[in-house]
Structure 1
Amino acid sequence: MRMPRLRPSTLSGRYARTAYLFLLPAILFFALMFYLPIGNVVATSLRTGPQADQWAGLGNYAQALADPAVAHSFLVTLTFAVAEVVGSIVLGLALALALNQPLRGRVAFRVLLLVPYLTSVAIVGLLWRNILDPELGILNRMLMAAGLPGQQWLNTAPLLTIAAVTLWQSVGYTMVLFLAGLQGIPETYYEAAKIDGADAWRRFWRITLPLLAPTTLFVSVMAVISGLQAFGQAYIITNGGPGDATDLLVFHIFNVAFRTRDFGYSSAQSVLLLIVIVAFTVIQLRAGRRGEVTY
């Protein structure tokens, strides 16, 4: 008996229904855990009062855009994010280039550099707060043992300090990304460049960097997003101080929400931060596409 042939449209319809069935758990998860909270924050940002029960319209947004404290926090956060982007690209690429060489123990070094990234921000913050403590911190004790004066690490350059701690934690992940990019470059390119007489510096600038452009773009986008959303470093290590030197924007939003109990105003700041993150991401992706290299 001959089986009836199914039309292509019928097959595609069945495949589509099956695909959506498998995607349904993920769609429900994102709807409940991502899109629904965003909608709730947007709705709250249009209200005011201790219980966010009074209609404010765009008043919270106007207040946030004119608030000098918000402007200061955004400037601090932007400086922090720029430091993260530059540090992640430069240090992550340098480590990747070093550990891409046939060195003994390079796998162990890769693992050791990746361990901090796998550790929670809270643990890293507590660890470095104790290390940098001016009285009992191990770093100052080592300096004093060497006959050098101790330093007020969290008072002299607090923003740079927490940026360095964040970079220490995340550089292993950046290194792994650059390692993957380096190992994806065909070796024949380097062999041809050597035959043409190109030295190591020219091979790096003419081959490695251009072909790492997609990886560099991804690293920069993720570093900007992470830097603009940073919170735990300021909360645990410096508590936003000294003064407001490390008052990162998310930390500022946290204080507005849970210390002054102004949820409408803090929600408006959160929405503005989301808009800024999306804008930076779009700008970076468009700029990255113009310089994209394919092979």
Structure 2
Amino acid sequence: MTRRRQALTAWLFLTPAVLFFALLFFLPIGNQLLTGLYDADGVSFVGLGNFSRAFGDPEVLHSFLITLAYAAGALVVGTAVGLGLAVILNQALPGRTLFRSVLLIPYLTSVSIVGLLWRNILDPQVGILNRLLEAIGLPGQTWLSTHPLATIVGITVWSGAGYTMVLFLAGLQGIPGLYYEAARIDGAGPWRRFFAITLPLLTPTTLFVSIIGLISTLQQFALPYIVTGGGPGNATSLYAHRLFIVAFNDNDFGYASALSVLLLLVVLVLSLAQLRIGDRANA
């Protein structure tokens, strides 16, 4: 009787969360999957036709490869920058609280404002960045046409570095100081301590950062859309941008739904792979 009462109490507390995920997560996914089985008008059943069409669509494949390159660049560089900032600002430096707060501001700023800000900064005619380069005798650059994807990666890293720094700071402050003290007594230098103590013990934090970053970058739409509009050409037309065009320009919601389900599967597979790698690293 006691076990039954405990089980009933547990399910009572779990019911709101179960309903939340069922109504706002699983139900929309099911609806997208169902819509992806129909044609653009939502009338004719085409089965897996929309899904197979995606694998033969050169524009979809191009946008997917561009998205993978963008995600890899933003994830690797962003993780390195965030970790570096965390290590520096974990030291007893004057004004470190102020620096931490300032570095977090870009993450707290709306992505629309970030996009508009950088589009103006990088403008080849009136942008402040080219004016600064010319002031020191260097030629101005057409950033958004010459280095579009790298520029988007850079803006993404700038925007998210503060958040990544905070996560790594939390991980660093959870490492017992006794480990570092013992390493110093044994004669280990700063780099040796970093690679032998800090990095291994930050593995769970690094795994969390990489998974969150991967999910975010693979779904990125607003930033490149505002800054470059997917151009020049299709150089920054990420997967979500292509999905947007299919849905709202071509009005093919069946195909767009299939593309969104495929993106969900890619994110799920890559996240599970990262978790498996993390489990092996912790073993």
Q: TM-score range by the shorter chain?
A: over 0.9
- How many Å apart are 1:237 and its aligned residue? 0.5
- In structure 2, give the amino acid aligned to 1:103: L
Does 1:110 find its partner at 2:125?
Answer: no
In the alignment, what sits opposite 1:33?
24
- How many Å apart are 1:14 and its aligned residue? 3.2
- How many Å apart are 1:68 and its aligned residue? 1.1
- How many Å apart are 1:89 and its aligned residue? 1.7
| Conserved 8 A contact 1:88-1:219 | no
In the alignment, what sits opposite 1:120?
110
- In structure 2, give the amino acid aligned to 1:189: Y
Tell me which structure has the larger Cα radius of gyration. Answer: 1
Q: Distance in 2 between matches of 1:72 and 1:31?
A: 34
TM-score by length of 1: 0.92
1:185-224 → structure 2 map (5 Å cutoff): 185-224=175-214
Deviations 1:170-209 (A, max 9, x none): 1111101111111111111111111111111111111111
- How many Å apart are 1:220 and its aligned residue? 1.1
- Aligned equivalent of 2:9, options 7, 10, 18: 18
- How many Å apart are 1:91 and its aligned residue? 0.6
- How many Å apart are 1:135 and its aligned residue? 1.5
In the alignment, what sits opposite 1:256?
246
In the alignment, what sits opposite 1:242?
232
In the alignment, what sits opposite 1:42?
33
In the alignment, what sits opposite 2:266?
276
In the alignment, what sits opposite 1:131?
121
In the alignment, what sits opposite 2:172?
182
In the alignment, what sits opposite 1:4?
none
RMSD: 1.3
- Aligned equivalent of 2:148, options 141, 158, 171: 158
Q: Distance in 2 between matches of 1:194 and 1:182?
A: 17
Q: Distance in 1 between matches of 2:244 and 2:29?
A: 16
Deviations 1:39-95 (A, max 9, x none): 11100100003x222111011111101111111101000000101111122111100
Q: Distance in 2 between matches of 1:23 and 1:137?
A: 53
- Aligned equivalent of 1:101, options 91, 99, 102: 91
Q: Distance in 2 between matches of 1:193 and 1:117?
A: 35
Size of the aligned set, in residue pairs, is 283
Unaligned runs of 5+ in 1: 1-8
Identity over aligned pairs, percent: 60
TM-score by length of 2: 0.96
In the alignment, what sits opposite 2:48?
58
- In structure 1, give the amino acid aligned to 2:66: V
In the alignment, what sits opposite 1:225?
215
Query: Please, which moves more after superposition, 158-167 or 13-22?
Result: 13-22
Counterparts in 2 of 1:15 and 1:115: CA distance versus 1, 3 Å: farther
- In structure 2, give the amino acid aligned to 1:30: F
Q: Distance in 1 between matches of 2:127 and 2:280?
A: 48
